[in-house]
Amino acid sequence: MKKHNYSAGPCILPQEVFEKAAQAVLNFKDSGLSILEISHRSADFVSVMEEARALALELLGLEGKGYQALFLQGGASLEFLRIPQNLMHENGKAAYLDTGTWANGAIKEARAFGETIVVASSNDANYTFIPKDYSIPSDANYFHCTSNNTIFGTQMKSFPKTSIPVVCDMSSDIFSRSLDFSKFDLIYAGAQKNMGPAGTTLVVIKEELLGKTSRNIPNILNYQQHIAKESMYNTPPVFAVYTSLLTLQWLKAKGGIAAIEKENETKAALLYAEIDRNPLFKGAANKEDRSSMNATFLLVDENHKEAFDKIWKALGVTGINGHRSVGGYRASMYNALPLESVQVLVNAMQELEKNI
């Protein structure tokens, strides 16, 4: 039976990426060696890293604009502390928008480095909306936000204008929609949502931002060191980087971000239309802030849970159980999820309605 994978991450990737990555595990570039055993200093892998970094900038429209792309380790969670360490001045401060679990985690790490101002939060409403109309202090060293909140199913549809550097955690919606990425000074994203397997994090940073903190930054945490060593300060996660490259190549072949955005909009519209139409379901997030990547929804009557779970499992749907913070269901519709899979989930919702 075909599986329809809605896992929030690690998550679905394109089938052709799985096939090419699997072949590389057995025999990388007809070398007779596996991608898992070649030297990261070999010409074959150096070319992988160079292409991955260049292609990330190309797809984001940031080529030749003073940005560097890095593939690092430690997940987005390590960037929570690496960002203030590299960007917050000694005796400085930073501004944060609190829109969910991961935004809150970033705030906690930043507080270890200096004054951390929360400009707005939707915590009191269990993060069901994106705060708006807040003020960002002009003397902060940077403003940090999270573009998409995987757990709660909300997404920033616009970003504030400010004179200070803007940092954005795009872990769960990078490469999914068209934005003017030059408005951001630092973007970071764990690969395991829209880009590749767990194990590497993409960091895209405007190089002029660095070297201004007066801090003594350990080399392994210093962005300048990673830029100087071209993402090879230490041994990189070769398989995760290679699979990310394959995914970026797949995206480019499809027509880039603009093309995948249209597909994502169609998928999200189909599912949300059913959530709003079907009297047995309701959305968890405010409509104006709903995520096109992670749709969170609930049964109006939890007594129908057993029946609904039986239906969607029988149809091959997997990974839609909601996070414990929200409950209900979460359908993660990342780039590689086909429209067909969304229709199957909609069919399951309609079948429940017929059976009640």
193 is catalytic: yes
* Confidence (pLDDT) at 203: 98
Reported as a single tens digit per residue, the pLDDT across 196-248 is 999 999 999 999 999 999 999 999 999 999 999 999 999 999 999 999 999 99
> What is the spatial distance between Cα 151 and Cα 197, in angstroms, rounded to a whole number?
19
The burial class, CB within 10 Å (0-12 / 13-18 / 19+), for 19 is: exposed
> Per-residue pLDDT for 146 more than 90?
yes
Q: How many CB atoms sit inside 10 A of residue 317's CB?
A: 21
Which one of 93, 193, 206, 267 is the catalytic residue? 193
* Residue percentage of the chain with pLDDT more than 90: 99
Which one of 98, 169, 173, 289 is the catalytic residue? 169
Half-sphere exposure of 34 (CA within 13 A, CB side): 6
Please name each of the domains of the chain with its CATH number. 15-254 (3.40.640.10), 256-355 (3.90.1150.10)
**pTM exceeds cut of 0.85:** yes
What does the mean pLDDT of the chain come to? 97
> Per-residue pLDDT for 112 more than 90?
yes
Half-sphere exposure of 280 (CA within 13 A, CB side): 18
Which one of 98, 102, 206, 250 is the catalytic residue? 102
The answer to whether the CB of 290 falls within 8 A of the CB of 272 is yes
> What is the spatial distance between Cα 330 and Cα 150, in angstroms, rounded to a whole number?
9
Enumerate residues 6+ apart whose C-beta is below 8 A from 339: 263, 266, 267, 270
Residue 42, H or E segment = none
102 is catalytic: yes
> What is the spatial distance between Cα 12 and Cα 331, in angstroms, rounded to a whole number?
12
pLDDT-derived band at 1 (thresholds 50, 70, 90) equals confident
